[in-house]
Amino acid sequence: MNDATPAVEIRDLHKRFGHLEVLKGISLTARPGDVVAVIGGSGSGKSTMLRCINMLETPSAGDIAIHGETYAMRPTRDGGLEPADRRQLQRIRAQLGMVFQNFNLWPHRTVLGNVIEVPVQVLGISRDEAVARARQVLDRVGLAEKEDAYPAHMSGGQQQRCAIARVLAVEPLAMLFDEPTSALDPELVGEVLNVIRDLAAEKRTMILVTHEMSFARDVASHVVYLKDGRIEEQGPPEQIFGDPRSPHLQQFIRSIA
């Protein structure tokens, strides 16, 4: 596959929860090096879309491909879809990294234990090598001193940086962020955003759901505005924030500023 193969490609994605249609046909492409910021009001479907990319939610219809490989899906009895090939699912998932709003670190493992867990258990890397690599990424997020700490004994900002290190350790094709700073005390937001900013500057592929508009404007190469389960507007950040067309988006930006 050449460089033009999209890291993430979503084609006509629909998602229903019972009778509630949350995603109503979303198509989105993230090329290697793209930083896609996803913005939109509460309940517009941002998290659901992001969670479909690694199949934490299964789409009701539509295709998703990671680096050119489309998830094999089969219909379920209730009219939805489910992954048809468990091995493929695990293989693709191992190439993605997700950073959650609530960190979701494993509380019974130390910082180092959290970071080496996936390389050792899923990628089959030797423990020594995983530890060496983990120390590098922990250093990058400023947690070199904390490798023996348990998550519960750290601040929210430290926990989220650890979660980012856990993702970096798998060297993912694309990183998925779901409001990584929303659960943080205001004074801790900056340290996490700075780490993400550095990663964006390195041209790492990421899809980032965020309410931090000025941050999105800074780091994104592409901004997507979701409204009621549809992409209402998308484009480069200057256009989305500087010259929004849709009245909803204009109102959304005013309301948040």
Partner 1 sequence: MIEAIDFSLLALTSPGWGGALLAGFLRSVELAAGGYLLGIVIGLLGATAKLYGGRVLRDIAEIYTLLIRAVPELVLMLLFYYVGTDLLNQLMAAFGREGIDIDGLSAGILVIGLVQGGYATEVFRGAIRAVPPGQIEAAQAFGMSPFRVLRRVTLPAMAPHALPGMANLWMIATKDTALLAVIGFSELTLVTKQAAAATREYFLFFFAAGLLYLALTLISNLGLRWLERRARRGLPAAA
Ligand X SMILES: Nc1ncnc2c1ncn2[C@@H]1O[C@H](COP(=O)(O)OP(=O)(O)OP(=O)(O)O)[C@@H](O)[C@H]1O
Binding positions for partner 1, rule: CB under 8 A: 54, 56, 86, 89-98, 100, 102, 104-110, 117-118, 121-122, 150-153, 170
Q: Are strands 222-227 and 230-235 parallel, antiparallel or unpaired?
A: antiparallel
User: What CA–CA distance (Å, rounded) separates 184 from 103?
Assistant: 10
255 binds ligand X (CB under 6 A): no
CB 140 within 8 A of CB 165: yes
| CB of residue 216 to ligand X, shortest distance in Å | 14
Based on the number of CB atoms within 10 Å of its own CB, is 1 exposed (0-12), middle (13-18) or buried (19 or more)?
Answer: exposed
Residue 92 CB neighbours (<10 A): 23
Q: Which does 1 bind (CB under 5 to 8 A by kind): partner 1, ligand X, Mg ion, none?
A: none
Q: Which does 250 bind (CB under 5 to 8 A by kind): ligand X, Mg ion, partner 1, none?
A: none
Report which residue type is found at 50. Answer: L
User: What CA–CA distance (Å, rounded) separates 41 from 253?
Assistant: 10
Q: Which does 205 bind (CB under 5 to 8 A by kind): Mg ion, partner 1, ligand X, none?
A: none
Distances in Å between the Cα of 35 and the Cα atoms of 13, 91, 236 are 20, 23, 10
Q: Which is nearer to Mg ion, 45 or 119 (CB)?
A: 45
Identify the helix (H) or strand (E) that includes residue 62.
Answer: strand 61-66
Q: Which does 90 bind (CB under 5 to 8 A by kind): partner 1, Mg ion, ligand X, none?
A: partner 1
CB 230 within 8 A of CB 27: no
Site string for ligand X, 5-44 (x = CB under 6 A): ------------x--x-x-----------------x-xxx
Of the candidate residues 8, 28, 36, 47, the single one contacting ligand X (CB under 6 A): 47
Q: Which is nearer to Mg ion, 135 or 211 (CB)?
A: 211
Q: Which is nearer to ligand X, 47 or 205 (CB)?
A: 47
Q: Which does 242 bind (CB under 5 to 8 A by kind): ligand X, Mg ion, partner 1, none?
A: none
Binding site for ligand X (CB under 6 A): 17, 20, 22, 40, 42-48
